[in-house]
Amino acid sequence: MKKKLVVFFISICLISILIPASASNFKLNVDEKIIDNLDLDNTEFYALIIGIEEYAGFETPDQEYLDDTAIDFYEKLLSSNNWKNENIKLLLNENATKEKIHDAIIGWLDNKENESDIVVIYHASHGWKTKIKDRLKGNAYVFTRNSSGFEYGPDKITDKEYDSWVDELDSKHIAIILESCYSGRMLALRQAGREVLAAGGKYLFCPCNWSMYLKDTIFGFFLRQGLDGVADINNDGWITVREAYFYLRVPVIWHSLLYHYPFIWDTHWGKNFVGPQVPFLYDNHFGGLPFFKYN
């Protein structure tokens, strides 16, 4: 029975890898070229980076690296000469309340960017799906510093609420990177001019996890590894969101598959199934959206 269970999960993982990749290969090969009318040498890059591991209303059971991975992503951006320190805002733990996240988007970010600038929002925290009774408010939500528990409430940010904030921005080139469970269900963020890279799946394998072996979040580790240049499919010196996704997807799935075996973990909430982690990409941006220059 145990062998059959392992074969079942491996089969599903293979399907989840091969089908989305093959279906998107044509799009990747044809229009991964950076949009022609974007002068990257004169384009401004702005980023809001959020990492939350300490919450006001509950304690997480183990080191989950959610704030550390945000710091590492911040430092990775600064290692590229297309990013300026004054164009990046980092909100960690006690500074990542719902109000401060809102103000960072509606105030700080909106006052800086324009329609030709490239904007990156990176949010690493817990997340969950809404229950049917709350579905009109959103499909899923991410946690803020204010969060008092896992149940949906005004201390969380739903996909619809997040979308209403991001709608205030002028930029036509927005990358939203969500590192939270059920981030693949943040469906309202799928709007024109955006690419949404979600660490968690849409329907199956929605949880996101960390690795004590990597001493990092699994998604964050391979995302930053891709920015070292190995994700650059067309060898133009720039990493686009789509290139990052195609690089990290397979190693995230397989590392999580091997690390989580036999898939039943003792957690603060009892025994839970922890399957492989399957990232997801919503691509509504015409052409490659470059955000990192590695040389």
Position 281 in a domain: yes
CATH number for the domain spanning 244: value is 3.40.50.1460
Structural domain of residue 59, as residue ranges? 46-293
141-170, pLDDT tens digit by residue? 999 999 988 889 999 999 999 999 999 999
Position 36 in a domain: no
15-43, pLDDT tens digit by residue? 454 444 433 443 444 445 555 567 787 89
Position 162 in a domain: yes
Q: What is the mean pLDDT of residues 42-46?
A: 93
Position 30 in a domain: no
Position 19 in a domain: no
Residue pointed to by tokens 């001493």 = 215
175-213, pLDDT tens digit by residue? 999 999 999 999 999 999 999 999 998 877 778 888 888
pLDDT of residue 26: 37
Position 259 in a domain: yes
Position 21 in a domain: no
Count structural domains, the chain.
1
Rounded to two decimals, what is the model's pTM? 0.88
Position 4 in a domain: no
